[in-house]
Amino acid sequence: MREVAKKLTGDRGIFDAARVGPGKQCNVLPQGRSLQELYRTFLKFDRNPVVLMRRHHKKGWAKGASRLCEVGERFIDYVLNQVLNLSKTKLGPLYQDAKVAFDVPENAILAGFKFPSITTVRARAGAIQKIVRELGRNGKKYSQNKYGAGSTDVRALEFGETCVTDQVYLSIFTNSRGELEIKEIDPTREGGPLENGEVRRLWLFFMMDLATRMPLAWLLSEAADGDHQKKLLRMAMRDKSKEKLRYGCNHDPAPAIRLKLTKSDNGSATRNDPVYSSQLGLRTSILTGRAYNSADNAFCERVFGKIQWKVLNFLPGYTGSRPGELNGYDGQKSAQITPEALMGHLTRFLVDEYPHTPHNGTGMYKATPRAKLEDLLDEGQMLDAPDPEELRVHLGESTAATVSSEGVKIFNIPYNSTELQKFAAGEPKKVTVFLNPDDLRQVSICSEETTQILNASLSMTTFADLTLDEAIKDMRSAVETNPEKKALHAEHLEDARRRRVRDSGFFPDSNLPSSYEHTDRLRAQAAELAQVEYTNMSRTAPVIHIGSFMSRVPSAQTGMSPVPDDAEKIEPPSETSVDTPAVATASAEHSEDSGESKSKLTFEPITESKL
């Protein structure tokens, strides 16, 4: 079409001054859809060439000045003010509704006011400063975490001066058994939730020195509680050579150090009475505060990020940094690593790798934490390690015990010493025993009878290299390991005991009645021993003078009284003895007038000799 136009007009430069396209290519003729649109517009307005006039020069600003009227600028500000909202409304629907809600002045309507296009509003929204847009649509907390300036203050100069601690819920599932589990599944419950203890996520307790950025202590736990926080404090203040040998580290971990100041968030693991009192007893200051922004406790958070992206992300069972991040990967079904193996990965990373990585933190100047530690140790800027007795008393476990000739026992572990036996002096005395769960070699003993703290050494030396958890596990395994073998041994014991009892001949046959009669015979003998002989104390005849028993004459006729005046009047028995027949019957009548007693005795004839 260009060549045809040049031939028809005979002017080869007819399009040199054409201003049709936008911007710098204004003399470029439109093609395709743009040409079709211009053609339809040209036909719509009766082939009037005015409608094809170029108007690109009216777009945008000219030298910083807007070509929109004052009302149009106010409308754009009105829309943008509603865009910067925490509800994150969409610009398209907001623009349409804002045109209805915006009040246009009457003079602007008479002047032919038209609302700015949505393209202009989008361009203005994109020109807003990025931090302002984040503050309006995401809030101050999110914006400060993302764009806030960090601190440039050097907060610690000595090793152990300030130690920061925190806990994180690791983004990985662990299998406590660490083996392939094959079991029969109920078809009705297939696809249901896993049972408790099959797979689980663990908490990581971590503490580091702020002056050197050197890791001081770390451990895994099923719950974020105060007992594990005390264990973390003990690990920071003791030698960690055992962890080095156990997990095969190539370099030395941080040495034992006394903590001058501990800084932590206000979580339940650190905000409790036992943890506070233990630290104050060791002369350690406490600084707590809830971390609302990433800059509040960025030292531990930075290490957690490195652990996640350099260690956990490459292990089976990884769950992702947020819910739903791994759409096609199931961390629970892929869990294979045991908690002990995970502890080994973390220990080797925190001992061999992280301390030898250049650090860009404030005051580090790209030096490694290990180099910073060695410099401070050479200069003597280091606090001494606490005394083992202080760790036992303030951070250990305590229980009441009784002193015997073999010493004391705590958690079924025996301890004894010469000074303890001198204190007891052969008598059982109540004491309180303090034990460091990480070092079973010695205990501290206190009593109300003395103000001195006594020490006792471990009697069972097989526990000298174990912790309390390992010792209890070892004692429990002796009972619970291999239940089939335990049942077999119990059966052997029962057979041997049955044979010994049968061969002794002490126990009779339980099926014979005579085996149950011995007790009845003893009861009968006991009843015989309890019987007392009965003696009849009643009198069967009146009392008379000696020698007048055989007399036929009543004593009243002879002038003798049958019963003395001072004699006791005895009633005859109710029943007569079978062996002794009745001899006499006496009756007495009392005279009411004279007050004298008259007796009448009647004797039966004597037919047998009383001799």
- Per-residue pLDDT, averaged over 547-571, amounts to 52
| Residue 362, pLDDT above cutoff 60 | yes
State percent of the chain over pLDDT 90.
29
Taking the domains of the chain in order of start, what are their residue ranges? 2-58, 70-146, 163-180+198-379, 389-478, 544-574+581-611
- Per-residue pLDDT, averaged over 591-605, amounts to 55
pLDDT for the residue numbered 77: 93
pLDDT for the residue numbered 609: 75
pLDDT for the residue numbered 328: 83
pLDDT for the residue numbered 608: 80
**For 136-150, 261-275, 313-327, which range has the lowest pLDDT when averaged over its residues?**
136-150
Nearest CA to 439 among 238, 263, 267? 238
| Residue 158, pLDDT above cutoff 80 | yes
| Residue 536, pLDDT above cutoff 80 | no
pLDDT band at 543 (very low <50, low <70, confident <90, very high): low
pLDDT for the residue numbered 63: 54
Nearest CA to 385 among 230, 217, 260? 260
pLDDT for the residue numbered 351: 94
- Per-residue pLDDT, averaged over 487-514, amounts to 85
The residue type at 599: S
Contacts of 165 (CB under 8 A, 6+ apart): 205, 206, 207, 208, 229, 232, 262, 263, 264, 270, 300
User: Tokens 């204004």 map to which residue?
Assistant: 26
Give the Cα separation of 371 and 308 in Å (integer): 24
Give the Cα separation of 220 and 247 in Å (integer): 14
Q: Are the C-beta atoms of 98 and 121 separated by less than 8 Å?
A: no
pLDDT band at 182 (very low <50, low <70, confident <90, very high): very low
Give the Cα separation of 320 and 304 in Å (integer): 14
Q: Are the C-beta atoms of 425 and 449 separated by less than 8 Å?
A: no
Nearest CA to 525 among 535, 513, 533, 517? 517
Distances (CA, A) of 415 to 125, 222, 392, 443: 77, 31, 15, 8
426-431: long-range pairs with CB below 8 Å, 24+: 428/402, 428/403, 428/404, 429/402, 429/403, 430/400, 430/401, 430/402, 431/400, 431/401, 431/402, 431/403
pLDDT tens for 377-402 read: 888 777 788 888 989 999 999 899 99
Distances (CA, A) of 197 to 193, 201, 368: 12, 10, 40
Give the Cα separation of 599 and 583 in Å (integer): 17
Q: Edge to edge, what strands does the sheet with 439-447 contain?
A: 397-402, 430-436, 439-447, 450-458, 413-416, 408-410
Give the Cα separation of 347 and 349 in Å (integer): 5
What are the residue ranges of helices labelled H in 111-185?
118-126, 130-147
Q: Are the C-beta atoms of 433 and 444 separated by less than 8 Å?
A: yes
Mean pLDDT over the full length of the chain: 81
Q: Are the C-beta atoms of 383 and 284 separated by less than 8 Å?
A: no
Phi, psi for residue 527 in degrees, rounded to 5: -65, -35
Give SS3 for 33: helix
| Residue 48, pLDDT above cutoff 70 | yes
| Residue 451, pLDDT above cutoff 90 | no
Using DSSP bridges, classify how beta strands 163-175 and 261-264 pair: parallel, antiparallel or unpaired: parallel
Most trustworthy range by pLDDT among 21-35, 205-219, 357-371: 205-219
pLDDT for the residue numbered 569: 46
Q: Which residue has the higher pLDDT, 142 or 483?
A: 142
Contacts of 545 (CB under 8 A, 6+ apart): 555, 560
pLDDT band at 66 (very low <50, low <70, confident <90, very high): low
| Residue 194, pLDDT above cutoff 60 | no
pLDDT for the residue numbered 540: 58
Nearest CA to 297 among 465, 118, 151, 135? 151
CATH number of 163-180+198-379: 3.30.420.10
Q: Are the C-beta atoms of 428 and 409 separated by less than 8 Å?
A: no
User: Tokens 């007693």 map to which residue?
Assistant: 597
Contacts of 303 (CB under 8 A, 6+ apart): 206, 208, 215, 354
pLDDT for the residue numbered 549: 61
Phi, psi for residue 409 in degrees, rounded to 5: -125, 135
Using DSSP bridges, classify how beta strands 430-436 and 439-447 pair: parallel, antiparallel or unpaired: antiparallel
Distances (CA, A) of 180 to 205, 333, 335: 29, 11, 10
DSSP 8-state code for residue 350? I
Nearest CA to 67 among 55, 53, 83, 50? 55
Q: Which residue has the higher pLDDT, 605 or 518?
A: 518
272-281: long-range pairs with CB below 8 Å, 24+: 272/226, 274/226, 274/230, 275/226, 275/229, 275/230, 275/233, 277/394, 278/230, 278/233, 278/394, 278/395, 279/233, 281/390, 281/393, 281/394
| Residue 341, pLDDT above cutoff 70 | yes
**For 338-352, 452-466, 471-485, which range has the lowest pLDDT when averaged over its residues?**
471-485
Beta strands of 42-162 (E only): which ranges?
61-62, 65-66
Q: Which residue has the higher pLDDT, 241 or 593?
A: 241
Both ends of the chain: CA-CA distance in Å? 183
Cα radius of gyration (the chain):
55
Q: Are the C-beta atoms of 359 and 399 separated by less than 8 Å?
A: no
| Residue 349, pLDDT above cutoff 90 | yes
Give the Cα separation of 259 and 390 in Å (integer): 13
| Residue 339, pLDDT above cutoff 50 | yes
What are the residue ranges of helices labelled H in 517-610?
518-530
pLDDT tens for 83-117 read: 999 999 999 999 999 999 999 999 988 888 889 99
CB 528: neighbour CB atoms within 10 A?
Answer: 7
| Residue 497, pLDDT above cutoff 80 | yes
| Residue 24, pLDDT above cutoff 80 | no
Q: Are the C-beta atoms of 434 and 445 separated by less than 8 Å?
A: yes
Distances (CA, A) of 204 to 229, 294, 495, 570: 11, 18, 51, 103
